[in-house]
Amino acid sequence: DTGVSQDPRHKITKRGQNVTFRCDPISEHNRLYWYRQTLGQGPEFLTYFQNEAQLEKSRLLSDRFSAERPKGSFSTLEIQRTEQGDSAMYLCASRREGRNTEAFFGQGTRLTVV
């Protein structure tokens, strides 16, 4: 299976700890997106990469959040000094260049901050 993969699938952490998630997109996809989904809500856009360049960050992404895509392939999302409100499903998606190309989603990383 060469779909979008995310690691880990689940993460439980204590408040105040740092966590890092990884996303491996489909190999030929140069666009990569991070979304956050809380219970009972639709996904919310966090940030977007075109190759290694981070082109847009949502206001939802506070200073505690940082995302990278150093070589234009995999991406990491780090949350520093986690808070209980950070508990959510973090979704990664990728797509090829092009106007009508489809975004493919990973299975997500579920973060629980206790």
Partner 1 sequence: GDSVTQMEGPVTLSEEAFLTINCTYTATGYPSLFWYVQYPGEGLQLLLKATKADDKGSNKGFEATYRKETTSFHLEKGSVQVSDSAVYFCALRDDAGNNRKLIWGLGTSLAVNP
SS (H, E, C) 52-70: CEEEEECCCCCCCEEEECC
46, 35 Cβ separation under 8 angstroms? yes
Q: Is 60 in the site for partner 1 (CB under 8 A)?
A: no
As beta bridge partners, residue 34 has: 47, 92
- Interaction pattern, residues 15-54, with partner 1; x per rule: CB under 8 A: ----------------x-x-x----xxxxxx--x-x----
Contacts by 40-45 with C-beta closer than 8 Å and gap 24+?
Answer: 43/91
In the complex with partner 1, the residue whose CB is nearer, 80 or 105, is 105
3-state secondary structure of 46: strand
Among 1, 28, 63, 102, binds partner 1 (CB under 8 A): 102
Question: What is the binding site for partner 1 (CB under 8 A)?
Answer: 4, 31, 33, 35, 40-45, 48, 50, 55-56, 91, 93, 95, 99-100, 102-108
